[in-house]
Chain A
């Protein structure tokens, strides 16, 4: 048998041996049961076995190590847990498979860690058939380096430890979310016992814990990325007036916000002017957001926030002051 065939066979037989058994197998038992391990010295078996375990882990087959206390002396036992190995049949129709395949063709995820969707489609039942809806055009999205590790935590419910803004975090990762050009992680932060949103491109040094380490929390709700809503303080209701162009931009950026038309919408000058009420927690975030509209937006109420914004702008006018 060619060396290549021999390695493929050995990996497959290792999986069948660990799936077929009801109790974890010791290294000696594995050596006995898997053809390809029997020949050669014990040390070379251990080396080959370790490499095979790594190969299998890379393809998603997790080999669990448990202590076999019944043995004397206690020794390590190995097994593959079926519920961790198996993908339930998603029941995709050929047309649904084809639509997923078409989606991966037009969407270009730019990043080094992104997987080959073809490997996934073979597991899901193939590449399907039928004409998928024509996509409107190519879609390009950058994928930060940490995203795959973070998503692995989401999928398998693993605790994640990482560096973020110069501090160490331990979190339950619940969902990844893409908005306005950035990937976010919605998580329960165990260090502060509260929900937190993290920018994935600022996450560094990810360490993943064991699978199934926490329960999903449906109550975490949606991710907040509105700059004026960051933080934990009390919220103030602020009324902002927007001209037609600014209102159109906000309607597109924040479709959930309700825009209140002001005055006669058919009137010539000022047509399309709208007010919006924002629940502001972070005043600096509000100011940064407001200047994106330059002089197309105005703080109307309450007077304290209006005065605060005016003061913030006056401080930027230099020695000349307001003219």
Chain B
């Protein structure tokens, strides 16, 4: 038997009891399974209700009636005009359930049962409008299918992949390990035979996929525990932000941040690839100073080279 704090126990009782009020009673065993509650806990809760709860003046007709027939595995509850419905969902609980459902429904092959369930919960919360919206980057269903097929079959997957960070288009053969989603994007964690190491590949950047019949090799080294940890990147960039670039401090993963004497903000961030850095530099206002955090060298050359390369299209 578990000891819950008094308030949590009262909440559990108010949540479950309305579901037990059925003429003829309900099965104790099924109720315990349905609500994932220990048999002893359930019976103790009901006894507490029976002996102690009711309304003024606590005459027999103003009390909760509970019949427990352990031998027949039946419990029957009769209430006065209270506890007839469960408590409303708290915002935190409603968010935990609805957001989880909407996240999965944003994947390329949503489950219609889950769709119906989420809509019923929203209706019970009193809204005909969508309360939680979720949009993931859309993925070609054929790509999603191939990734899942190769994962389930344990076979090699060939991908034409656009590395957004490096702005490179490559063809690779990868051994899929796990599909996972982080912050609205689907990734395949895989052993890349081209790079000879574990890599994360965004599904929305796979231009073509092909499931090869070749089984994956069993003896690859284990992947690092957190594939989303990019702090190992070796280059550090220092930016002294002009006021209009203040958004950088909230948009990018900042490693250091301080306010200079003149009130401007200085940030240090780990740089991804060259293409990543070029995009960042091109977006900075003229008043922002960008330097290599290690050497202190200004990054003006990188910036103007990137601008010139784009301008060639306009020559």
Residues of A within 8 A of B (CB): 1, 4-9, 11-13, 15-17, 19-20, 32-35, 55, 58-61, 84-92, 95-97, 99-100, 103-104, 106-107, 109, 113-129, 132-133, 135-143, 147-149, 151-152, 154-156, 174-181, 199, 201-202, 216, 218, 222-223, 244-245, 248-249, 251-253, 255, 288, 291-292, 294-296, 298, 306, 310, 313-318, 320, 322-323
Contacts and interface: CB of A to CB of B under 8 A. Distances in A.
Main secondary structure of the interface of B (DSSP, over half): helix
Given A61-B87, A125-B19, A152-B91, A294 B278 contact: yes
A141 B183 contact: yes
A178 B137 CA distance: 11
A38 to B, nearest CB: 11
Given A86-B84, A86-B85, 12 more contacts: A19-B81, A85-B85, A90-B121, A117-B93, A121-B97, A132-B111, A136-B181, A138-B181, A140-B182, A156-B91, A181-B183, A294-B279
A104 B7 contact: no
Q: Which 8 A-B pairs have CB atoms at the shortest separation, nearest pair first?
A: A115-B92, A120-B93, A7-B6, A152-B91, A137-B179, A90-B124, A181-B183, A126-B34
Contacts of A132: 111, 113-114
B307 A313 contact: yes
A141 B207 CA distance: 25
Given A33-B55, A33-B56, A178 B162 contact: no
Contacts of A148: 91-92, 95
Contacts of B114: 96, 99-100, 103, 132-133
Interface stretch (B99-107, B234-242, B261-269): B99-107
Interface in B134-183: 134-135, 137-140, 144, 148, 162, 164, 167, 169, 178-183
Q: With a 10 A CB-CB cut-off, give which of A8, A151, A306, A310 has the most chain B CB atoms.
A: A8
A248 B275 CA distance: 18
Contact of B205 (A202, A249, A292, A298): A249
A248 B309 contact: no
18 contacts: A8-B7, A12-B14, A20-B56, A20-B81, A35-B52, A61-B14, A92-B120, A100-B97, A109-B100, A119-B93, A124-B121, A137-B186, A155-B91, A155-B94, A175-B130, A181-B185, A291-B278, A310-B314
A4 B1 CA distance: 14
A9 B53 contact: yes
A25 B52 CA distance: 21
A62 to B, nearest CB: 9
Q: With a 10 A CB-CB cut-off, give which of A16, A143, A175 has the most chain B CB atoms.
A: A16
A88 B48 CA distance: 26
A314 B127 CA distance: 52
B58 interface: yes
Given A9-B52, A141-B183, A107 B131 contact: no
B214 interface: no
B180 A138 contact: yes
A176 B309 CA distance: 40
Interface stretch (B70-78, B193-201, B298-306): B298-306
B85 A87 contact: yes
A135 B135 CA distance: 17
B100 A117 contact: yes
A123 B86 contact: yes
Contacts of B258: none
A180 B121 contact: no
Nearest to A251: B138
A249 B164 CA distance: 9
Given A99-B111, A177-B134, A317-B311, A12 B13 contact: yes
Contacts of B139: 252
Given A96-B117, A99-B113, A104-B97, A5 B52 contact: yes
Contacts of A295: 309-310, 312-313
A55 B129 CA distance: 31
Contacts of B131: 151, 154-155, 175-176
Q: With a 10 A CB-CB cut-off, give which of A117, A123, A135, A180 has the most chain B CB atoms.
A: A123
B184 A180 contact: yes
A97 B117 contact: yes
Contacts of B297: none
Given A100-B118, A133-B113, A13 B87 contact: no
Contacts of A252: 137-140, 204-205
A122 B250 contact: no
B266 to A, nearest CB: 20
Contact of B129 (A6, A124, A177, A218): A218
A184 B35 CA distance: 34
A291 B279 contact: yes
Interface string B1-28: 0010111011111111001000000000
A182 to B, nearest CB: 8
Q: With a 10 A CB-CB cut-off, give which of B121, B178, B250 has the most chain A CB atoms.
A: B121
Nearest to A138: B180
A231 to B, nearest CB: 15
A295 B82 CA distance: 68
B60 interface: no
A33 B62 CA distance: 12
Contacts of A139: 103-104, 180-182
Contacts of B286: 315
Nearest to A62: B88
